[in-house]
Amino acid sequence: MALQGCSHEDSRYCKCASVGWYFKGAPTGVPGVARCTSGRVCHCKGCSCGEPSLHTLSEVLFCQPDTPSLGLSVAFDSEQLFSFDVPSSQWLPQLPDGPAWPTGTEQPQELEHDTTLCLRLHDVLTKIATELPMPEAKGIPVADVFLQQPLQLGYPNTLVCMVGNIFPPAITISWQRDGIPITDGVTQLTYIPMEDLSFMRFSYLEVTPHSGDIYSCIVTRERDNISVVAYWVPQDPIPSDTLAMAVCGAVTALGVLLALLGLGLLLSARRHRMWGQRGQWGHRPRTHWYPPRVAPSAWERWQ
Q: How far apart are CA 120 and CA 51, in angstroms?
A: 34
Which residues on adjacent β-strands are paired with residue 13? Answer: 24
Q: Enumerate the CATH 2.60.40.10 domain ranges in the chain, comma separated.
A: 142-232
One-letter amino acid of 129: A
* Positions of CATH 3.10.320.10 in the chain: 2-131
Residue 45 contacts residue 3 (beta carbons within 8 Å): no
Q: Name the CATH topology of 2-131.
A: 3.10.320
Helices and strands (H, E) in the chain, number of each type: 3, 17
Q: Are 147 and 160 in contact (CB under 8 A)?
A: yes
Query: Rounded CA gap, 101 and 189, in Å?
Result: 17
SS3 call for 243? helix
pTM: 0.59
Residue from 45, 70, 46 nearest 59 by CA: 45
Beta strand 2-5 with 34-35 is parallel
The DSSP-derived string for 45-70 is TT---SS--S--EEEEEEE-SSSSSE
Give me the tens of pLDDT residue by residue for the chain, a chain 303 residues long. Answer: 444 444 433 333 333 333 333 333 333 333 333 333 333 333 344 444 445 567 888 888 888 888 888 888 888 887 888 888 887 788 888 877 778 888 877 787 888 888 888 989 988 888 888 888 777 788 899 999 999 999 999 999 999 999 999 999 999 999 999 999 999 999 998 899 888 889 999 999 999 999 999 999 999 998 888 899 999 999 865 555 666 777 888 888 888 888 888 888 888 877 777 766 655 555 555 555 556 665 566 555 555
For residue 111, which amino acid is it?
A: L
CATH number, span 142-232: 2.60.40.10
